Each structure stands twice: as C-alpha cells, then as structure tokens.
Amino acid sequence: MAKSWSTPPGEALRVVPGFDLATADLAATPGWEHSESAADKRLRKDGEHLGEAQERLFAHGRTGGKRSVLLVLQGMDTAGKGGIVRHVLGLVDPQGVELHSFGVPTEKERSQPFLQRIREALPDGGRIGVFDRSHYEDVLVVRVNEVVPREVWEPRFDEINAFEREVTESGTVIVKVALLVSAAEQKARLRERLERPDKYWKYNPGDVDERVKWTRYQEAYQAVFDRTSTDVAPWYAVPADNKWFARLAVGRLLRDAVEGLHLGWPAPDFDVEAEMARLDAQPF
C-alpha cells in the first residue's frame, strides 16, 4: 500500500488568516512524513484516482454538464510551474485538459479590462483548466514594477474576489496554488540553467532583474494571500524547494477537487435494450 498523508494538503497547506510568508519554511513538507520515494508511489496512486475521476468529468462535459475544475498556478521564476504541468497534469488524459499561459499582455489585451483575457480562457464544462500565471499577475508583477498606480491595482483584489465567486457559482471549482521557492533555492536553479547547455533555453536574463525585487514580490504575494484567500477560492501555499513535494501536494489537491465533484457516469439518452436488440439483429 502506498504511504499516505498525516494531514491532507487541503488542510495542511490552506492559507488561513495569520499565514506569514516571511517565516514560512519553504523546504518543509507539511502533512507528509515519509520519504521522497514513498511520495513518488503516492503520486502515481493519486494519479490513477485522478485519472478515473477526470474521465467521469470529461463524460459529464460531453453530455452537456457544466462542472469544471480550474487550477491556478502562481510562483516566482523557477518555482516549478512547468514541472507541475508535466508531472501532475501529465497523469491525466490530455484531451480533458485546457492549458493557458499568461505572459505580458498584448496591446489589445492592455486596452481591455484585466479580467477579459482570463474570462475568455475559463475551462469548458467537463475540463480541467490550468492557468500558468493568471489574473494574479495584475496585482503582482504589475504592482512591483509600478505598471499602473496603486489606485488602479488596489481595487483589483475585490474585483478578483467577486469574479472568482461568480466563476465558482457557475460550476467551476477553483484550486489556487502558490509554489513558494526560497531565494537561495531560486539562485541555485538559475545557476543550474547557466551551467547546463540543455538548460540554457530556460534561462532569461530578465529573471535576474526581477530577482533584485525579491522583498517587494514577497510583500505582493503576502497581500494576495491576505486579500484573496476566500472560502470559495482559498489559496494553497505549497513549499516548493523540494520539487517532489510540490508535485505530490498538487496531485492530491487536484485529485480531491475532481473527486469532490462526486460525478457519476452519465445516464444514456437512448434505450439500451432496444439498441442492443438492433445491434444483435445485424447479420455481421
């Protein structure tokens, strides 16, 4: 039997009032008291359950159902968002996954309300949507780099909460994951990108410029946690210095979200007996 959590991540990692990013241990494995190899086995097992639940979700969507799950991934550069997509979403049928990455807005996007491009990317019924970065960039990078003044980004927290409530009420379960990497670990990961020719493609000199603003990013993330970890869409603060732990945790969060929809298999919209008789009546 695969080893299990002492406290599931839905509880152990949920951001509640009083959460303090500055003192969080980002190499810790809250709720998990076993080894990395035990975690690999657990993730594979969770992946099987997630896969089964996702197939029911997909079937639900194909028969007109409106429920969906949205995984929002945020994190500093090198935090491991790509690894989560590969190792956790890689466990389910790609047909059921809608992945969107949000980079610097285009000129057209900049002329629209900041939530517009997000609304357009919401998952269809039956899907697992994944946002690699999200509307939170509009209160993170935008705030830190003073792209717009405080009077513009400050009201966005309330707007985001109202938006997420609306999305939830329309049938989408939102799972917000902040992958939290320490400054020391980020440095080591950036260094590795400079040491290995197979990693050069991942290196962006701009990442070092953003790194200088570390403290301001930490403040901006803290404000995100304080203002937007709501009952309808809580944040999960995932310590990510150990990549294996982050993947294990997100795998379980996603499994719980999809299984939590409690979807059965869709009922047939045809007469099963009559169809069977018709099939059997054919000579070949």
Residues that bind ligand ATP (CB under 6 A): 77, 101-105, 133, 137-138, 141-142, 147, 204
Backbone angles phi, psi at 156, to 5 degrees: -65, -25
Q: At what angle do helices 214-228 and 156-169 cross, to 10 degrees?
A: 50
Residue with smallest beta-carbon separation from ligand ATP = 103
Nearer to ligand ATP, 54 or 134 (CB): 134
Strand, coil or helix: what is 147?
coil
Nearer to ligand ATP, 211 or 227 (CB): 211
Nearer to ligand ATP, 37 or 145 (CB): 145
Return the residue matching tokens 């020391």: 184
Q: DSSP string of 59-91?
A: HHHHTT---EEEEEEEESTTSSHHHHHHHTGGG
Question: Which of 76-98 are b and which e, b meaning 16 or more Cβ less than 10 Å from the residue's Cβ?
Answer: bbbbbbebbbebbbebbeeebbb
Nearer to ligand ATP, 14 or 213 (CB): 213
Cβ distance 124 to 62 under 8 Å?
no
In the bound complex, what is the minimum distance in angstroms from residue 204's beta carbon to ligand ATP?
A: 5
Rounded to an integer, what distance in angstroms lies between the CA atom of residue 17 and that of residue 222?
Answer: 11
In the bound complex, what is the minimum distance in angstroms from residue 214's beta carbon to ligand ATP?
A: 14
In the bound complex, what is the minimum distance in angstroms from residue 202's beta carbon to ligand ATP?
A: 8
Nearer to ligand ATP, 101 or 116 (CB): 101
Question: Which of 217-255 are b and which e, b meaning 16 or more Cβ less than 10 Å from the residue's Cβ?
Answer: bbebbebbbeebbeeebbbbbbbbbbbbbbbbbbbbbbb
In the bound complex, what is the minimum distance in angstroms from residue 251's beta carbon to ligand ATP?
A: 20
DSSP state of 121: T
In the bound complex, what is the minimum distance in angstroms from residue 78's beta carbon to ligand ATP?
A: 8
In the bound complex, what is the minimum distance in angstroms from residue 201's beta carbon to ligand ATP?
A: 10
Which residues are within 8 A (CB) of 150 and not within 5 positions of it... i.e. 6 or more apart? 143
In the bound complex, what is the minimum distance in angstroms from residue 163's beta carbon to ligand ATP?
A: 14
Nearer to ligand ATP, 38 or 99 (CB): 99
Nearer to ligand ATP, 78 or 172 (CB): 78
